[in-house]
Structure 1
Amino acid sequence: MKKLISVALFGLAFLFANSSMASVKEAPKEMSAETKECVKCHQKNNPGIVQQWGRSKHYGANVGCYECHQADKGDVDAYVHDDKKVKKNISIIVSPKDCANCHEKAAHEMTTSRHAKAGHIIDSLDNLLAEVVEGNRGMVTPGFPNGNSAAAVNGCWQCHGSKVVVLEDGALDPATWPNTGIGRINPDGSEGTCSACHSRHQFSTEQARKPDNCGKCHLGPGHPQKEIYEESKHGIAFKAYEDEMNLDSAKWVVGVDYTAAPTCATCHMGATRKQESTHNVGERISWTNRPPISVRPEVMDAKMGLESQNLKWDERRKNMQDVCSACHTEEYVNNFYIQYDSLIELYNEKYAKPGKALYGAAKPLLKPAKFSNKLDWIWFELWHHEGRRARMAASMMAPDYTHWHGTYHLALHFYTKMVPEVEKLIKEGKASKDKAKKKAAKALQAKLDEVLNSENHKWYLNKK
């Protein structure tokens, strides 16, 4: 424990300094007897946990196992742990509601953000892919006697979050726990998990500020923000000057406490000279580039029932421009946004809206099961993979991802996959004896002619 004690004063000194912790309540004057009993056992059986906690600011503030895991007898997931010594009700899961006992402001910001809603993926295309197309119902657990897809449990749910199921004996169903998905639906009714970013049991602010932390979920073909960041000048600078970033500093104001580079946390959450830090990652985003057609963020927030639906996109943009102003001039920032908006308009008008219209017109000619048609896959990858890459890369100034991984693939697959597949469906529909399919084929032909004769696509017909 000597090593743990050596960091205690360091942690305590900085506990209340960070603006993101402005609502932290007064720390206990001494370590509780319950926590001391917990430590005795866990130091023997799970020493890594104890060492991690010993390096935390919680340890320095006398906040330990019991303070975070204590539960009321009536809580859904409460059980008596160690009935010989501690004899107290605890819960395994520490939810945002628990963290709010001390970190009220941060917990509120997080639970009212899109991150906290990430667990609501039922009936989405991504969920259908993992549950049905990629997987099966072979993972049978007590809470899911009819089975679950292991592809969803080990993939989707680990980022989006699972709905944690508590069994009759108080244990947590293995299909839903362990899970640190950002939008986890907890037994106490709260949504989200702080440990998705602040890994237990050290809960390091330094770790949460590093881009790698976001890379657990934000990477790959459909959301490659980490790779995009690493290609950008911002990511290159971070890699070169990481030791100048003051990542372990309690006070962390861009342009004041560090100037070497911005990280994901800097732009989306970090404090500036005018703004406090925030745990609502949507407060500075002026386009939502997740759906097939990019929309303003308040539109999506309204669909999710978030209070931030009242925060309009132009105000969010001003918030982000304030971050940019720490290192860039007003002209530089304004010109960047002209470039970015132009790419979003290009994507929406040339690919997203025509693609969605063609796909919609083709549906009467398709088999009813989603992803049972070639066109389902083509359209999905156009917007979900290529389209997202192009849009997200432009938002973060990553030219290779914008072009070669983005707009190049959009064009390649629109003209060499989507258009030919639509033409094939038209041909088959016209040859069908089904009058409804003949009519649908005629309508699809009209829509294709409209698209290809437009200013954006007439080159394909060799028209000027």
Structure 2
Amino acid sequence: MLVMRRFLVAGILAISLLLVAGMAVPAGAAQFGDDLAAKVQELMQSNKVSPQTRACLSCHVQYTPGIVYDWANSEHAEMTPAALADLYKAIGASEWADKVAEKFKNYQYVVGCYECHGMFKEADRPDIIDNHFGYKIVTVVTRKDCSQCHPKESTEISWTWHATGALMSPFKPWYLGILKWAKSQGADPFGDAQAKALYEKYFPPYLTKQRDVDDINWDFYKEIAKAVMQYLETGQENDIVKMLKQATGMVTPYDKDWKTFISPLWPASGVLNTTLVGKMGIKIAVTAMDGTSKAVSNIMEHPSFRNGYVYHACFECHGSVVIPYKKETVQINGMQVNRVALWGWPNNGAARVDPDGSMGTCTACHPRHLFSVKQAREPWTCGQCHLGYDHPHIEIYEESKHGNIATAYGEEWNWEQIPWRVGVDFNAPTCATCHMSAIADANGNILVQGTHDLVKRLVWDQMHFFSIPKGIIPDKMQQALFYGWSQLKGKLEQIEAKKNDKAPEHYKYPVFTGVKIVEDGGKVGETKFPRLLKVEYTGELAKHRAEMEAVCKLCHSTQWTENFFRTADQNIIDYDIVARYANALLQLAWKEGIHDNSNILDEYMEIMWYYIWHHEGRRWRNGAFMMGPDFAHWFGIVDTVMDKLGRMTSYLYTALKIKQLESQIQALKASAGAQYTPELAAQIAQLQRELESLKAQLAALEAQVPVLKSQLQSLEAGVADVGALKGDVGALKEDVNSLVQKLQELSKQLETLSPQAKEIQKLVSQIQQVTSQLQTLGQKAEAASAKAEEASAKAEEAGTKAGKAISMVEEISKKIDELSSKIDSVSTTAYTLGGIALAAAIIALGLSIVYRRS
């Protein structure tokens, strides 16, 4: 009898657990609501949280609750550093567990506020807050700090562009100045012991360390940060500050508001700093919002223009240089708070340079303070930087079949599982899958080793001028300094000539060795597959391609994989040919004096070349390798060749033809002898040049007509910007009227020179023809403007209808919400009653058995 009763109680408890199981939070999933609030209160009183962290939580839960609740949802709030040994074992990298910092190997508490902000790695960094309510802390948690528990990830990421992207782009001039100074002091990775020691003191030591073994940092920047902080607080210039002024022309890289920093990554490199207007002796008076007024030839000359957008447009992806510049006490929430004032902060750019010399930040991909594995694996975590005109990786991914599958099924994936099991936890690759993830079978056996070294599965640099293999080191300035050669501008056959016998065997070349292009596709017209060139890989590049193929073969056949990479590689070859042809056209324009290369990005062909390599050419190559046909074709090769290369070719032809005609005219005038006076000949030649210039302007305006027509057609479909189009048409009309007036004046001047000259008569006739054509063009422009106004009216009408539709949708949405709420209420009641009824039935059944037995 007693046993039966116990059985009944156990059965009822089991049924109750089954009833509430559907409401349980999946393992690893973030919690929100009252349960999370209760969890925070529990953690604040738990002995698994260190006393220091509990003190932090008691205050910050009031003033920065978002941070506290995010941390409570993180794995850090659940795990001690010792658990990392099991994690490294799970991903097949158990050897890294021994590299966890000694102070954390047997640490008994979970990872909380104090463990990251108070147990920082290096005690001599300049940004330490000495007394934050009794604790010594830092505001900026760096990659060095993270490396204490995550040595593998830190080491691997330190060898990537993600770690060097700030120094390689926005801060390039400042960084290069320091490197050149260090070399002038005798620093040389291939020199004697003293030269090598100097190199390792002043440089990030890529050329003397081993990839994926040594953690790379720029420790000299820590000394710079200390010197700058002392200088800004006391005004004292030590040797480092004096060096900075000598080598870079400034103390910090922020001193000149980017006005001398010329880079193709922002407009200061070209049109903002143009020389063209100044050559004409023109100055434009501009009054800024602060009242400062100045007549300038280019925008960079205006004292109130500071290029402030780089803080957001550049740093948020590439990273900043964080400078601690003073210690201060401020009033916050009624309390006196000690802090270190920082510049270049806040910033989570991938290549942020921190006060302790760290390059690269983990929070670029694992946002604090949740540090979610799921978030890092989500495609849009990469897409927050890898998108848009110049590298639309996320858009290409979303167009691809991979992205389509992820969109369809991604909500059901097991995002947090470590290691990630192919086909079990997910059924299509994300960015992380192909480039980083440790991938396992259903039993957790590792099939592909994971890595944070994003070069490990790549062979081609698809981001720069020409097609080149991925470099051994990400610091291209060091390559240029010590090899005397830039890999970005070279050719494959030049690599062997730049061998450096002093370098270690695996660093003898500026790029990875192992690329050979061979012809085995048969002759033209011959039936043979594949009709493509073949890239043969050896050495490191062969390993990289094999690792990426291993990822593909987890879902695709060997033949599918081999054929895909064969065709993708041909796109690399094809682009390279187009790019070198386009660059040769630009070089010819400079040689012929058509363009001036003193500013390499402010004239027509220069800008077109920039778009070819920095925009369309990237889309072409990335579209091919990431299975985005629209980006490979329309946004890629079509825009590269039909648009930008076509414009370069046409412009160069027109410019050279004008030069040729001018030479012919001059020769004709010279041969005319006494028929013309020198003054008359000079005037005719000058007027002829002006005429040709006007013809060129006319051709440019005519080229705009198809674009305007296309915009009008799009507008009529309801997708164009009416205001902008009307502005374009208005500008076109003004240009046409201006040209007509100039031609009429020119015609009058010619008539007054020499009515008897037959050549001048012909010129007058030609001018009249051009005038007629311009008048016709003006009429077309007026017609286009009328269509634009008509389309604008249609757009307004459509907007009114859309507003009504939106109101209807909102009303229906409210009704759906009300109905959904009622359904949820009924469902919950039914679910509860069902459980009670089932439990009651079991009890009744049990009691009937008991009564029968009794």
Normalising to structure 2: TM-score of the pair? 0.44
Picking from 376, 382, 385, the partner of 1:214 is 382
Picking from 458, 475, 479, the partner of 1:285 is 458
Picking from 543, 547, 565, the partner of 1:337 is 565
SS where residue 167 of structure 1 aligns? strand
CA contact (8 A) 2:56 2:113 kept: yes
Identify which range, 33-42 or 147-156, moves more after superposition.
147-156
Give the whole-Å Cα distance in 1 for the aligned partners of 2:304 and 2:340: 19
1:50 matched to 2:102? The reply is no
Q: 1:130 Cα shift?
A: 5.2
Letter of the structure 1 residue corresponding to residue 567 of structure 2: Q
Partner of 1:370: 600
Q: 1:362 Cα shift?
A: 2.1
Partner of 1:441: none
Matches within 5 A, 1:167-316: 167-169=325-327, 171-174=340-343, 176-255=344-423, 257-272=424-439, 273-298=446-471, 301=474, 303=476, 312-316=540-544
Q: Structure 1 residues 413, 132: CA separation in 2 closer, same or farther (over 3 Å shift)?
A: closer
Letter of the structure 1 residue corresponding to residue 127 of structure 2: D
Partner of 1:154: 312
1:381 matched to 2:611? The reply is yes
Q: Structure 1 residues 107, 147: CA separation in 2 closer, same or farther (over 3 Å shift)?
A: farther
Partner of 2:136: 89
Partner of 2:849: none
Partner of 1:33: 51
Q: 1:147 Cα shift?
A: 8.5
* 1:386-423 Cα shifts (integer Å, max 9, x gaps): 10001001010111111011111112224531102222
Q: 1:29 Cα shift?
A: 8.1
CA contact (8 A) 2:586 2:605 kept: yes
Q: 1:235 Cα shift?
A: 0.3
Q: Structure 1 residues 150, 318: CA separation in 2 closer, same or farther (over 3 Å shift)?
A: same
Q: 1:131 Cα shift?
A: 7.1
SS where residue 52 of structure 1 aligns? helix
Give the whole-Å Cα distance in 2 for the aligned partners of 1:362 and 1:130: 22
Q: 1:90 Cα shift?
A: 1.5
SS where residue 448 of structure 2 aligns? coil
Give the whole-Å Cα distance in 2 for the aligned partners of 1:302 and 1:293: 18
Provide the aligned length of Structure 1 versus Structure 2.
404
Letter of the structure 2 residue corresponding to residue 284 of structure 1: R
Q: Structure 1 residues 415, 369: CA separation in 2 closer, same or farther (over 3 Å shift)?
A: closer
Letter of the structure 1 residue corresponding to residue 385 of structure 2: C
Give the whole-Å Cα distance in 1 for the aligned partners of 2:135 and 2:304: 35
Q: Structure 1 residues 53, 411: CA separation in 2 closer, same or farther (over 3 Å shift)?
A: same
SS where residue 627 of structure 2 aligns? coil
Letter of the structure 2 residue corresponding to residue 40 of structure 1: S
Identify which range, 233-242 or 273-282, moves more after superposition.
273-282
* 1:278-321 Cα shifts (integer Å, max 9, x gaps): 11111101211000112111367473669996672221110100
* 1:91-133 Cα shifts (integer Å, max 9, x gaps): 1111110000100111111111121111121257334525775
Q: Structure 1 residues 149, 407: CA separation in 2 closer, same or farther (over 3 Å shift)?
A: same
1:76 matched to 2:126? The reply is yes
Q: 1:426 Cα shift?
A: 2.7
Matches within 5 A, 1:120-159: 120=167, 121=169, 122-123=172-173, 125-129=263-267, 133=271, 148-159=306-317
Give the whole-Å Cα distance in 2 for the aligned partners of 1:167 and 1:320: 45
Identity of aligned residues (%): 35
Q: Structure 1 residues 277, 8: CA separation in 2 closer, same or farther (over 3 Å shift)?
A: farther
Give the whole-Å Cα distance in 2 for the aligned partners of 1:131 and 1:64: 45
Q: Structure 1 residues 426, 312: CA separation in 2 closer, same or farther (over 3 Å shift)?
A: farther
CA contact (8 A) 2:600 2:606 kept: yes
Give the whole-Å Cα distance in 2 for the aligned partners of 1:178 and 1:45: 18
SS where residue 171 of structure 1 aligns? strand
Letter of the structure 1 residue corresponding to residue 150 of structure 2: H
Q: Structure 1 residues 357, 277: CA separation in 2 closer, same or farther (over 3 Å shift)?
A: same
Letter of the structure 2 residue corresponding to residue 337 of structure 1: F
1:423 matched to 2:591? The reply is no
Q: 1:43 Cα shift?
A: 0.3
SS where residue 94 of structure 1 aligns? coil
Q: Structure 1 residues 113, 300: CA separation in 2 closer, same or farther (over 3 Å shift)?
A: closer
Give the whole-Å Cα distance in 2 for the aligned partners of 1:250 and 1:195: 19
CA radius of gyration, larger in:
2
Normalising to structure 1: TM-score of the pair? 0.80
CA contact (8 A) 1:160 1:183 kept: yes
Give the whole-Å Cα distance in 1 for the aligned partners of 2:553 and 2:47: 42
**Which has the higher relative contact order, 1 or 2, with Cα contacts under 8 A spaced 6 or more apart?**
1
Q: Structure 1 residues 228, 416: CA separation in 2 closer, same or farther (over 3 Å shift)?
A: same
Q: 1:33 Cα shift?
A: 1.9
Q: Structure 1 residues 127, 397: CA separation in 2 closer, same or farther (over 3 Å shift)?
A: closer
CA contact (8 A) 1:8 1:55 kept: no
Q: 1:374 Cα shift?
A: 1.3
Picking from 102, 105, 108, the partner of 2:155 is 108
Picking from 117, 124, 129, the partner of 2:164 is 117
Q: Structure 1 residues 240, 128: CA separation in 2 closer, same or farther (over 3 Å shift)?
A: closer
Identify which range, 228-237 or 276-285, moves more after superposition.
276-285
Q: 1:4 Cα shift?
A: 6.1
Partner of 1:98: 145
Partner of 1:413: 643
Q: Structure 1 residues 373, 326: CA separation in 2 closer, same or farther (over 3 Å shift)?
A: same
Q: 1:428 Cα shift?
A: 5.6
SS where residue 130 of structure 2 aligns? strand
1:398 matched to 2:628? The reply is yes
Give the whole-Å Cα distance in 2 for the aligned partners of 1:166 and 1:75: 10
SS where residue 90 of structure 1 aligns? strand
Give the whole-Å Cα distance in 2 for the aligned partners of 1:258 and 1:58: 22
Partner of 1:3: 36
Where does the alignment leave 5 or more consecutive residues of structure 2 unmatched?
1-33, 80-109, 174-261, 275-287, 289-302, 328-338, 440-445, 480-505, 513-538, 664-854
Give the whole-Å Cα distance in 1 for the aligned partners of 2:466 and 2:144: 35
CA contact (8 A) 2:270 2:600 kept: no
